[in-house]
Amino acid sequence: MSSKDRTLYQFDTNNIMRKPSKICALRAIFSTLRQTRIKSRALLILLFALLFLPMTSTFFEDTTVPSNSEPAFKLAAETPTLTLSYYSLANPSFTPLEAGDRAAGDHVILNATWIPKDNVNGTTIQINASAIPRLITAESNTNSVEIDTRLLGNNATCTVNVTTWLWNGTALTEIFTNVFFGNFFVPHVTLLTPNGGETWPDQHNITWTAWDRNKDDILSFEVLISSDSGTSFQLLSSEITNYYLVWDFSPFQNLSTYVVEVRVSDGIYTSSDKSDLPFIAGTVASSTTSTGTATNTEPTSPPLAEDTRLALFIAAAIITSAFLSLIVYHQAKRLS
């Protein structure tokens, strides 16, 4: 290569590295060629190809902005997986749930979430309690859905079906069997007064306290009274929502064997509490009867009449005289 050729090559390389515009570089090369009077067509064609062809690829490049109206679904997207969990009013932390598990609490909220969510078009959850029977459902147009299992109306063992639809129309379903949901709890009641040993001759308050794990439950009460130390009870009042009952014991017989029982209900479950010991109440005097010990005796005959007794005396005298005469006779005969 001649010195002119080397100069041209170096100039071209430096201009390509320094000039951002390929057009400017091309003009510089043609100007240099005219100055150096190089006649080599082969070298000119080579330089033209090196500079012009990359420019044509830039000119024909597709710069169209893709439309946002199409769904963000890719055929090669990852298949979503389901996460099933629950929480409650008392415990807001999510707890994983599997088939055969027990979920208990005040308002158990079941959450179903498909991950990843890119190609998920909607989610549906169904809870079937066939023993009640009851079916509850919830749906959303996202990858996640929740449902309050208290809508079942009672505690039950259920089957849970979770389905999601993908953008391409494919449906995925997972089934969880023998899942127990416990939203309802037995209420508790404690009788405060009378609890044993009191003396209530007139009006007093029967009082108690109660509680329930279901905070929004409305409790109702019944009050019963026993006069035989708790063997049997009769109803005093029902459908009470207060925690006391004003009662007048004065019309009752004055006994020391009274016992009170209070029953509580939340509409589904009930429980009760009684006085620990009997108490005294009432002012009416009770009629008491003797309960002497029974003895076995022979029946006695009624007394005899006076004439009957005289006749029996005469008969006895005659019989006695005859008996004595007979004895005297036999005795005299032996002596003769």
Same domain, 85 and 177: yes
The span from the first CA to the last CA of the chain, in angstroms, equals 210
Tens digits of residue pLDDT in 211-228: 999 988 899 999 999 999
Pairwise pLDDT comparison (274 vs 20), residue with the higher score: 274
Domains identified in the chain, total number: 3
With respect to residue 336, please indicate whether it lies within any of the assigned structural domains.
Answer: no
Same domain, 148 and 102: yes
Which residue among 235, 264, 281 closes a domain?
281
Range 45-71 average pLDDT? 51
pLDDT at 274 > cutoff 60: yes
- Joined together, the tokens standing for residue 290 give 């003797």
- 51-to-31, 103, 125 alpha-carbon distances in Å: 15, 73, 63
Q: Is 186 strand, coil or helix?
A: coil
Enumerate the H helices of the chain as residue ranges.
3-18, 22-36, 41-59, 306-335
- 310-to-16, 193, 317 alpha-carbon distances in Å: 175, 77, 11
Asked if 270 and 281 count as a contact pair (C-beta separation under 8 A), the reply is: no
Tens digits of residue pLDDT in 109-135: 999 999 999 889 999 999 999 999 999
Q: Which residues contact 284 (CB under 8 A, 6 or more apart)?
A: 250, 251, 252, 253, 254
CATH number at residue 267: 2.60.40.10
- 224-to-90, 240, 311 alpha-carbon distances in Å: 34, 12, 72
Q: Which residues contact 255 (CB under 8 A, 6 or more apart)?
A: 227, 280, 281, 282, 286
With respect to residue 311, please indicate whether it lies within any of the assigned structural domains.
Answer: no
With respect to residue 226, please indicate whether it lies within any of the assigned structural domains.
Answer: yes
With respect to residue 300, please indicate whether it lies within any of the assigned structural domains.
Answer: no
Same domain, 220 and 273: yes
Same domain, 177 and 193: no
With respect to residue 94, please indicate whether it lies within any of the assigned structural domains.
Answer: yes
Count CB neighbours of 309 within 10 A.
Answer: 10
Q: Is 88 strand, coil or helix?
A: coil
Same domain, 178 and 85: yes
Tens digits of residue pLDDT in 297-310: 333 444 545 566 66
With respect to residue 73, please indicate whether it lies within any of the assigned structural domains.
Answer: no
% helix, strand, coil for the chain, step of 5: 25, 35, 40
Tell me what percent of the residues of the chain surpass a pLDDT of 70: 62
| CA neighbours closer than 13 Å in the CB half-sphere of residue 302 | 3
Print the domain residue range for 53. Answer: 3-58
With respect to residue 329, please indicate whether it lies within any of the assigned structural domains.
Answer: no
Range 277-306 average pLDDT? 57
Q: Is 2 strand, coil or helix?
A: coil
CATH number at residue 115: 2.60.40.1220
Which residue among 166, 182, 198 closes a domain?
182
Give the pLDDT of residue 222. 97
Same domain, 140 and 194: no
Same domain, 169 and 197: no
- Between helix 41-59 and helix 3-18 the angle, nearest 10°, is 10
Asked if 223 and 245 count as a contact pair (C-beta separation under 8 A), the reply is: yes
Which residue among 147, 167, 182 closes a domain?
182
Unique residue bearing structure tokens 């494919």: 170
Count CB neighbours of 8 within 10 A.
Answer: 21
Tens digits of residue pLDDT in 161-215: 999 999 888 999 999 999 999 999 999 999 999 999 999 989 999 999 999 999 8
Asked if 264 and 188 count as a contact pair (C-beta separation under 8 A), the reply is: yes
With respect to residue 256, please indicate whether it lies within any of the assigned structural domains.
Answer: yes
Candidate ranges 28-32, 49-53, 244-248; pick with highest mean pLDDT? 244-248
